[in-house]
Amino acid sequence: MLLSIKKDEWTDNPRENIFAGLVSSVAILPEVIGFAIIAGVQPVSALFASATTLLVITLTGGRPAMVSAAAGSMALVIAGLVQSHGLNYMIAATILTGIFQFVLGYLNVHRLMKYIPKSVMIGFVNGLAISIFLAQVQQLPEQNMIGYVMVIVSILAIYLLPRVIKVVPPALIIIIAMTILSFVFKGSFFTVGDLGDMSSLDVSFGLPLVPMNVETLWIILPTAISLTFIGLMETLLTVPIVDEMTNSTSDSKREVKAQGLANFITGLFGGQGGCAMIGQAVINVKSGGRTRLSTFVSGTTLLLFIFVLNSLMMVIPTAALIGIMITVAGDTFNWESLQLVKSWEMIESTVMIVTVVIIVYTGNLAIGILCGVVLNGLSILFTKLYKKIVKRQ
């Protein structure tokens, strides 16, 4: 059964999960808005797509508390299609992506993840952590001196506040306090409203205005295939991270089908494709998110930001979010992997480093992971051949 109605997945620790949902909803804003602009999509439309994705997967997914939205990795793929053929073809590609992912869910594509070596998995995590960090650093030149102070204060507060206040997650306190400051000292901070046009959104439901023929299929097919596999890779590699952080198990097959359903429905609403977002998933869990209530609150809060609290969203200072996400990057990075490098495990270290470098350089998870898997396979093959040659001698 795809729809979740288990009581404990909604009612356990409601306060912590509500707070976590509020934090993750705000943490979604800068990445989704930033990459929407790169992709040529209206930022508020990308936020609505994120809300739709979050709510559908909350109700149907197999990994409670994992945040899925209009991720940057997916936005980069659609940029070329939007540029060459327009938004309607992007919407068609999103719908086709949803269909592909839903079918692959029934075909047990999640089982292929067991063939990804641990060194590639670590490379994926570290590559994303570094990418999250660099994305924050790239925003620093837009800040003024007060903004730099806010970034530093936010980083320190994430680690110091839990020693004093344990009831409310530190990230939520920081966001509220800094937003109040932004209200009081208007014009002193670079805010979410400065990231792009956040004008009102007209929501419609239905198929995109494209010719329903073979020519259209050939136009959208390459993008849909890329979105399908990039989305599933990022999602299925994020699932075990959340499993480990929450000390719980998940249903990856159900998650794949839910991702497909979410992209299909989001496409019908005119939105772009989405997948799991490791940074936002980490901050959701770190803030106390464990159940579906956390992501439900996150998706609902995004809708409130779009349709009711637009003016409040516009004054949230980006410096506070930069500070929070820098700490998320640090928490996401697998620091134990440095021991792997120090131990001179040549093959594992090389595979991990190559995976990290390719992910960071290209911004394409699929290419990084595939290169890592191929390199690992070649390394094993050459090692076996070398041992056979030595044995014969």
pLDDT in tens, the chain (393 residues): 566 556 667 778 889 999 999 999 999 988 888 888 888 888 899 999 999 999 999 999 999 999 999 988 888 889 889 999 999 999 999 999 999 999 999 999 999 888 888 888 888 889 888 988 988 888 888 888 888 999 999 999 999 998 888 888 898 999 999 999 988 888 888 888 888 777 767 778 899 999 999 999 999 999 999 999 989 988 998 999 999 999 999 999 999 999 999 999 999 999 999 999 988 999 999 999 999 999 999 999 999 999 998 888 888 898 998 998 899 889 888 888 887 766 657 778 888 889 999 988 887 777 888 888 888 888 878 877 867 777 776
Distance of alpha carbon 237 from alpha carbon 113, whole angstroms: 8
Q: Would you call 372 exposed, middle or buried from its count of C-beta atoms within 10 A (0-12, 13-18, 19+)?
A: buried
Dihedral angle of Cα 378, 381, 387, 388, to the nearest 10 degrees: -140
User: In the 8-state DSSP scheme, what is residue 191?
Assistant: B
Residue 379: predicted pLDDT: 82
Give the three-state DSSP class for 291: coil
Dihedral angle of Cα 90, 94, 95, 97, to the nearest 10 degrees: 130
Residue 268: predicted pLDDT: 95
Element (DSSP H or E) covering residue 276? strand 275-276
Residue 8: predicted pLDDT: 67
CB under 8 Å to 64, separation ≥6 — which residues?
4, 9, 250, 290, 291, 292, 294, 295
Residue 228 lies in domain: 8-124+202-311
Distance of alpha carbon 290 from alpha carbon 8, whole angstroms: 10
Is the residue at 248 inside a domain?
Answer: yes
Mark 95-111 as b/e (b = at least 16 C-beta within 10 Å). Answer: bbbbbbbbebbeeebbe
Give the three-state DSSP class for 161: helix
CB under 8 Å to 46, separation ≥6 — which residues?
32, 33, 35, 36, 39, 70, 75, 271, 272
Distance of alpha carbon 85 from alpha carbon 100, whole angstroms: 21
Distance of alpha carbon 108 from alpha carbon 216, whole angstroms: 29
> Based on the structure, what is the number of domains in the chain?
1
CB under 8 Å to 302, separation ≥6 — which residues?
25, 28, 47, 48, 50, 51, 54
Is the residue at 237 inside a domain?
Answer: yes
CB under 8 Å to 263, separation ≥6 — which residues?
53, 94, 95, 97, 98, 101, 227, 231, 273, 274
Give the three-state DSSP class for 265: helix
